[in-house]
Amino acid sequence: MVGPIGQNEARTSILKASSYKEGKAPASEEATIHRIRITLTSRNVKSLEKVCADLIKGAKEKSLKVKGPVRMPTKVLRITTRKTPCGEGSKTWDRFQMRIHKRLIDLHSPSEIVKQITSISIEPGVEVEVTIADA
């Protein structure tokens, strides 16, 4: 006599067998759509904006859902130091600063297409970080 566990196993095996059509894999495994976030950081605004424009242009050519570029607030790192090494003389100071600019781009696409899009030439000094999260 087959118990309730045996019946459930039979049902799941029928469902698994019916999801394959004529030797093809299920469509969900072929092209799963991921939510992909591309984070770009740089000290040079022009090169950062150029890379953003190239990425968005490539994504729109492939007709993907694109959100961005989202311009995050600029981080300004400041160091104030005395000009003289010995400490004598007039009290003169140097003020150095480094500005870090950041952009976010969100894509909804399979990861294979993102590999094609991100294979563009990236300007020197621009850091690219790709994060994949399931939608």
- Give per-residue pLDDT as tens, 3-45: 455 444 444 334 444 444 444 444 444 578 889 999 999 999 9
Terminal alpha carbon distance of the chain: 44
**3-state helix vs strand vs coil in the chain, percent to 5:** 35, 40, 25
Task: Tell me what pLDDT residue 15 has.
Answer: 40
- Any idea which fold 29-71+103-134 has? Alpha-Beta Plaits (3.30.70)
For residues 47 and 118, the model is more confident at 47
CA 102 – CA 96 distance, rounded (Å): 20
Task: Tell me what pLDDT residue 71 has.
Answer: 96
For the question of whether the overall pTM of this predicted structure is more than 0.85, the answer is: no
- Give per-residue pLDDT as tens, 67-117: 989 999 999 999 999 999 998 889 999 999 999 999 999 999 887 888 888
On whether the CB atoms of residues 84 and 94 are closer than 8 A, the answer is: no
